[in-house]
């Protein structure tokens, strides 16, 4: 018998991956290698005081220990005590989610996401995370090479979610920045970002000039990376626009319950499904943000498009949520009293954490766009770049990394101009976020302030 380790193709090397397999080997987001390295060496006041503070992942870690963990332990205890078939089937079944779980999820979404409409559990499909839900919808609604119009700035991973496996092409429609009169006591830059009809038509014209056939519009509401809820007027503009141009509207409402601003006049969450319905509207939600359970990998697609439901059902076999995971989810979300008190407490803690980080940044003279919802906001560090370039933005990011903290560079969020960074204020404890601000102030003190940032984004 010959040597099994040698191949007939020794000179050529092993057979290559497919083109799409090779393309998928790229990091899903540009700064992922640094983020994973930092996550493996996290700051801990006792065991790792020199570790990293990671404020680049949109996570809410403020309620896990005292509120979520006991609730999850209770769910797991129940699972271990009751014969499993009473809570979930140990056999094959409906891969898009067990009927009782989909019913409970419909109830959860009526509580936090879609407040004016009764949701039909038969229109719901479970996926392992909203990442998977976005990829699923891209597969079901678009053809390879089709454009997906997205209000920009937008969430870094959408490029990967929409393109990998499905070959769709994300293309931005830049929101307008509108100067506003802002009361003295309100922190942040006096600017509102808005989706307008003109911004959408311009984005579409640019997509067409690139040769793209745009059939899908992807909205994130509340918005990521700026952290605010879109107004009813903006949502109506989007709905009219998608219908005029015969597009599907995917509305990612994963931050629906994170409307933490208590200030009068700040928009709260309204779902597109509160304003309209139809086969062209698809709403996504999940457990990673409002419930801080990103490791549980749990996402939901709500669509009344029966053909889409059929496709998703067939495809669910490739990416379904396991029965035990659904059983734990059921225990959590079917207890609506728990959900209500959890979300109220979550928003109280988010408000507090956000105020504290903003306080540190203000004392360092750093400007930012004030958030009213979600888990992050954008800060303006343009004057600290060595030059007004994307390379300089990445260079400063690398300096932050060397100094043991991570915030998201604006390029990844599709900002138009270098020098903005996204800070996730709930991704670490109050003490860790104070340390991050301290490390940031040391880095900024050591770099030369340039005048390069005179222009506005």
Ligand X SMILES: Cc1ncc(COP(=O)(O)O)c(C=O)c1O
> Does the footprint of ligand X cover residue 320 (CB under 6 A)?
no
- 3-class SS at 90? coil
C-beta of 296: minimal distance to ligand X in Å? 9
Closest CA to 241 of 258, 271, 218, 266: 218
Q: 216, 250, 254, 379: which one is catalytic?
A: 254
Q: What are phi and psi of 148, to 5 degrees?
A: -120, 115
> Does the footprint of ligand X cover residue 160 (CB under 6 A)?
no
CA dihedral of residues 345, 351, 352, 356 (deg, nearest 10)? 160
Q: 159, 161, 252, 280: which one is catalytic?
A: 252
> Does the footprint of ligand X cover residue 435 (CB under 6 A)?
no
Place of tokens 């900002």: 415
Q: 61, 103, 289, 411: which one is catalytic?
A: 289
Q: What are phi and psi of 335, to 5 degrees?
A: -95, 85
Choose, by CB under 6 A, the member of 288, 320, 358, 408 that binds ligand X.
Answer: 288
Is 177 one of the catalytic residues? no
CA–CA separation, 108 and 379 (whole Å): 33
Choose, by CB under 6 A, the member of 153, 203, 286, 419 that binds ligand X.
Answer: 286
In this complex, which beta carbon is closest to ligand X, that of residue 171 or of residue 288? Answer: 288
- 3-class SS at 457? coil
Place of tokens 């392992």: 128
**How is residue 447 written in tokens?**
């770099």
Choose, by CB under 6 A, the member of 34, 146, 252, 457 that binds ligand X.
Answer: 252
In this complex, which beta carbon is closest to ligand X, that of residue 287 or of residue 381? Answer: 287
Give the list of residues 6+ apart from residue 438 with CB closer than 8 angstroms, or none.
none
In this complex, which beta carbon is closest to ligand X, that of residue 166 or of residue 385? Answer: 166
> Does the footprint of ligand X cover residue 135 (CB under 6 A)?
no
**Contact 63/346 with Cβ under 8 angstroms?**
yes
In this complex, which beta carbon is closest to ligand X, that of residue 134 or of residue 437? Answer: 134
Place of tokens 């889409």: 308
Residues in the chain: 457
Is 64 one of the catalytic residues? no
Is 155 one of the catalytic residues? yes
In this complex, which beta carbon is closest to ligand X, that of residue 252 or of residue 331? Answer: 252
Choose, by CB under 6 A, the member of 60, 135, 166, 224 that binds ligand X.
Answer: 224
- Closest residue to ligand X: CB criterion: 129
Question: Of residues 29-88, which lie at the interface with ligand X (CB under 6 A)?
Answer: 58
String of DSSP letters for 389-405: SHHHHHHHHHHHHHTTE
- Rounded alpha-carbon distances, angstroms, from residue 455 to 178, 258, 419, 451: 15, 32, 12, 10
Is 154 one of the catalytic residues? no
Choose, by CB under 6 A, the member of 299, 410, 418, 419 that binds ligand X.
Answer: 299
Compute how many residues bind ligand X; rule: CB under 6 A.
Answer: 13
> Does the footprint of ligand X cover residue 294 (CB under 6 A)?
yes
Residues interacting with ligand X, by CB under 6 A? 58, 129-131, 155, 220, 224, 252, 254, 286, 288, 294, 299
Active site residues: 155, 252, 254, 289
């Amino acid at each position: 018998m010959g040597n099994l380790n040698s191949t007939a193709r020794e000179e050529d090397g092993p057979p290559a991956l497919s083109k799409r397999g090779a393309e998928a080997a790229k990091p899903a987001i540009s700064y992922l290698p640094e983020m994973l390295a930092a996550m493996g060496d996290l700051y801990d006041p006792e065991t790792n005081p020199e570790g990293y503070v990671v404020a680049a992942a949109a996570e809410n870690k403020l309620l896990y220990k005292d509120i979520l963990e006991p609730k999850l332990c209770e769910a797991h205890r129940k699972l271990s005590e009751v014969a499993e078939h009473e809570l979930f089937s140990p056999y094959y079944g409906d891969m898009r989610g067990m009927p009782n779980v989909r019913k409970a999820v419909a109830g959860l979404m009526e509580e936090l996401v879609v407040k004016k409409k009764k949701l039909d559990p038969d229109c719901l499909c479970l996926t392992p995370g909203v990442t998977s839900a976005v990829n699923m919808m891209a597969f079901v609604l678009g053809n390879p090479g089709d454009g997906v119009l997205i209000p920009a700035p937008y969430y870094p991973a959408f490029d990967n979610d929409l393109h990998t496996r499905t070959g769709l092409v994300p293309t931005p429609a830049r929101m307008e920045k509108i100067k506003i009169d802002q009361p003295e006591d309100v922190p942040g830059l006096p600017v509102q970002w808005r989706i307008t009809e003109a911004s959408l038509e311009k984005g579409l014209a640019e997509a067409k000039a690139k040769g793209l056939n745009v059939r899908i519009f992807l909205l994130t509401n509340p918005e990521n990376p700026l952290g605010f809820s879109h107004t009813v007027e903006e949502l109506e503009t989007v709905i009219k626009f998608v219908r005029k141009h015969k597009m599907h509207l995917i509305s990612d409402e994963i931050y629906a319950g994170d409307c933490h601003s208590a200030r009068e006049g700040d928009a709260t969450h309204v779902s597109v499904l509160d304003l309209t319905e139809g086969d062209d509207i698809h709403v996504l939600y999940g457990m990673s943000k409002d419930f801080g359970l990103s490791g549980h990998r749990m996402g939901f697609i709500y669509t009344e498009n029966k053909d889409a439901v059929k496709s998703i059902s067939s495809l669910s076999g490739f990416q379904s949520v396991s029965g035990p995971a659904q059983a734990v989810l059921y225990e959590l979300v079917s207890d609506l009293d728990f959900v209500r008190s959890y979300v109220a407490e979550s928003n109280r803690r988010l408000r507090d954490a956000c105020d504290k980080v903003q306080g540190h940044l203000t004392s360092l003279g750093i400007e930012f766009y004030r958030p009213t919802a979600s888990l992050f906001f954008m800060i303006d560090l343009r004057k600290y770049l060595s030059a007004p370039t994307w390379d300089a933005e990445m260079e400063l990011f690398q300096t932050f990394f060397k100094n043991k903290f991570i915030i998201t560079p604006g390029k990844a969020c599709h900002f138009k101009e270098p020098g903005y960074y996204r800070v996730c204020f709930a991704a670490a404890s109050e003490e860790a976020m104070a340390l991050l601000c301290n490390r940031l102030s040391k880095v900024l003190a050591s770099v030369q302030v340039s005048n390069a940032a005179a222009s506005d984004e």
